[in-house]
Amino acid sequence: MMPPKRPERPQLDLDFIMDGAVDEAILFDQLEDAIVGVDHNGYLVYSHEQMLRCFMEQGMTQEEAFEWIDFNILGFNGGDGFTIIMQERGTKYDA
| pLDDT tens string 65-95 | 999 998 888 877 666 656 778 777 766 666 5
How far is residue 75 from each of residues 13, 19, 25, 28, 70, measured CA to CA in Å?
A: 28, 27, 16, 13, 6
Q: Note the pLDDT of residue 55.
A: 95
Task: Give kind and range of the element (H or E) at residue 59.
Answer: none
**What is the C-alpha separation between 28 and 24, in angstroms, rounded?**
12
Can you list the alpha helix ranges (DSSP code H) found in 1-95? 14-19, 48-57, 62-68
pLDDT digits (tens, 9 = 90+) for 16-43: 888 888 888 888 888 999 999 999 989 8
Q: Note the pLDDT of residue 16.
A: 85
